[in-house]
Amino acid sequence: MKPCTIARLAGALAVAGLVTGHALAQAPDLQPLPEPKFNKAQAELGRYFFFDVRMSGDAALSCATCHDPAKGWSDGQPLAKGYPASEYFRNSPTIINATLKNRFMWDGRLDGSDAGTLVRDMMTEAHTMNMDARLAQERVKQVPEYVAMWQTAVKKGDDPNGMRIFNIIGEFIKSVTSRNVPIDKFLKGDATALSAEAKAGYDVFKGKGNCVSCHNGPVGSDGKLHKTGVPENPEVWNDPLRAITMLRHYSTSGMPNYMNARTDVGSYAITKDKRDIGKFATPSIRDLKYTAPYMHNGMFATLDQVIDFYDRGGGAGSELKPLNLAAAEKQALKTFLLDGMSGDPVTVEIPKMPAYQVRAFGKN
Ligand code: HEC
Ligand code: HEC
């Protein structure tokens, strides 16, 4: 290579370096929540299906059993229940703003842009709702109100269809988003939207606490996998029903040597990359006021415990460093998370379930 070419190459690299340097200089930050986009008529029908226990195999539970609006669209328990005779091995996450994330599930195993697929899994998996799409379709067809709503929401003359039910519930969950949150007003320029203490907490969040390096963007998630070292929840192994569901999940995911696993390996079960053992997808940190207990296994009952955990630099094998926050900084951070990042309760009208009324012969 001629010297002048090398010089030009070096120049080009320097420019590239400057460009990257500039991109890095723009520190990540929280962003206002975008307006939710969804099909209104379908979301309205989806609201009925979300609360309807007939969407589960033995009509014992609905989506709302584990994602209850009165409990922050979660269930208030450290670990989720399951379909009768099974229990789940992780916490039931809130669905508030879930469809604004780029990954679904604690281990990030599903693409966040596809609400229909997520609903399909929730409904058909044996340990959640154990429901068959064709059975759902025939049940819906024997409820005249549903058939009528379907015609408006989907297409005139169209008959209820099992696969479409998933997408219709998906439209409803897209409508479940934060309301009237101080941080959104603040980020849009209303300096009075946060109290002095919440503002101080926001400074800790972005500064000494470095929370913003992972919790950024509109929902407060970078959409990536990280290891924070949350301690295992012993109940997962002490309760055979939970251990069974966990091993079944590992086995279905094709995780090598899964019978020897005695911990929640997180994203590793999906990626099979050893570096992902114990990693989880960064969750949203909006509306935390309503969604305790926290973390993939509900190990922290309060935000004080969460903040102390981060202050220690997380748990075993964590990628975090100790923060050494002063008591006042911890308090401010908590106020910011509770008051600044949480909005009004996200409520919807709980529909009155229309009854079965068998269709006239020949009209199916
Ligand atoms: C038996 C309890 C249970 C039922 C019933 C249930 N879910 Fe879930 N849901 C969970 C659990 C637990 C997870 C997290 C699973 C994981 O990460 O391994 C979850 C995850 C989700 C997520 C992803 C949230 C996120 O931030 O990644 C959404 C959205 C969701 N469920 C919606 C629904 C809908 C819609 C229904 C009804 C069709 C439903 N769920 C029924 C327990 C339940
Ligand atoms: C290295 C990335 C990273 C950093 C830095 C980080 N977090 Fe997290 N955060 C995560 C991940 C990943 C989880 C989920 C961990 C799990 O469930 O095991 C999480 C979970 C949480 C939760 C629980 C949310 C829920 O719904 O259960 C809260 C609250 C939280 N973080 C607050 C903070 C605060 C406050 C800071 C700063 C002091 C912070 N995080 C710094 C990655 C990070």
Digitized pLDDT (tens) for each residue of the chain, 364 residues in all: 444 444 444 444 444 434 444 445 578 999 999 999 999 999 999 999 999 999 999 999 999 999 999 999 999 999 999 999 999 999 999 999 999 999 999 999 999 889 999 999 999 999 999 999 999 999 999 999 999 999 999 999 999 999 999 999 999 999 999 999 999 999 999 999 999 999 999 999 999 999 999 999 999 999 999 999 999 999 999 999 999 999 999 999 999 999 999 999 999 999 999 999 999 999 999 999 999 999 999 999 999 999 999 999 999 999 999 999 999 999 999 999 999 999 999 999 999 999 999 888 777 6
**Cis (ω within 30 of 0) for the bond into 293?**
yes
227 within ligand 2 shell (Cβ under 6 A) = no
189 located within any domain: yes
Tokens of 122: 């929730």
CA nearest 292: which of 73, 97, 61? 73
pLDDT on residue 13: 42
Alpha carbon of residue 46 to chain centroid = 19
- Same-domain pairing of 337 and 269: no
* Domain boundaries, position 137: 40-174
- Same-domain pairing of 203 and 328: yes
Tokens of 30: 């929280």
Q: Scan for tokens 């415990």, then name that residue.
A: 305
90 within ligand 1 shell (Cβ under 6 A) = yes
11 located within any domain: no
82 within ligand 1 shell (Cβ under 6 A) = yes
204 within ligand 1 shell (Cβ under 6 A) = no
Q: Scan for tokens 């203490």, then name that residue.
A: 197
- Judge contact between 130 and 56, C-beta under 8 A: yes
- Same-domain pairing of 165 and 268: no
d(CA 160, CA 48): 14
- Same-domain pairing of 249 and 310: no
- Same-domain pairing of 189 and 321: yes
270 located within any domain: yes
d(CA 245, CA 283): 22
26 located within any domain: no
Ligand nearest to the CA of 165: 1
- The CATH number of whichever domain residue 125 belongs to comes to 1.10.760.10
98 within ligand 1 shell (Cβ under 6 A) = yes
Q: How many CB atoms lie within 10 A of CB 322?
A: 10
361 located within any domain: no
Ligand nearest to the CA of 294: 2
d(CA 303, CA 217): 21
- Same-domain pairing of 113 and 66: yes
d(CA 125, CA 78): 21
Whole-structure pTM value = 0.93
CA nearest 266: which of 284, 257, 279, 254? 279
Pocket probe for ligand 1: among 49, 86, 92, the residue whose CB has the most ligand atoms within 8 Å is: 92
- Same-domain pairing of 186 and 305: yes
Who contacts 334 (Cβ-Cβ below 8 Å, separation ≥6)? 201, 303, 304, 307
- Same-domain pairing of 218 and 237: no
- Same-domain pairing of 269 and 285: no
300 within ligand 1 shell (Cβ under 6 A) = no
Q: How many CB atoms lie within 10 A of CB 130?
A: 19
- Same-domain pairing of 77 and 198: no
Amino acid at 196: A
CA nearest 270: which of 262, 278, 283? 278
- Judge contact between 110 and 122, C-beta under 8 A: no
Q: How many CA atoms lie within 13 A of 76 on its CB side?
A: 7
d(CA 341, CA 335): 9
354 located within any domain: no
- Same-domain pairing of 209 and 309: yes
34 located within any domain: no
Who contacts 171 (Cβ-Cβ below 8 Å, separation ≥6)? 38, 39, 42, 43, 46, 115
Ligand nearest to the CA of 253: 1
d(CA 103, CA 213): 18
104 within ligand 1 shell (Cβ under 6 A) = yes
43 within ligand 1 shell (Cβ under 6 A) = no
> Which domain-ending residue is among 138, 154, 174?
174
165 within ligand 1 shell (Cβ under 6 A) = no
4 located within any domain: no
- Same-domain pairing of 201 and 105: no
Pocket probe for ligand 1: among 95, 268, 286, the residue whose CB has the most ligand atoms within 8 Å is: 95
Which atom of ligand 1 is nearest to 127's Cα? 1
Tokens of 119: 């609903």
Ligand nearest to the CA of 201: 2
Q: What is the number of domains present in the chain?
A: 3
Dihedral sign, CA of 89, 94, 99, 102? negative
Q: How many CB atoms lie within 10 A of CB 182?
A: 19
d(CA 105, CA 121): 11
d(CA 66, CA 238): 22
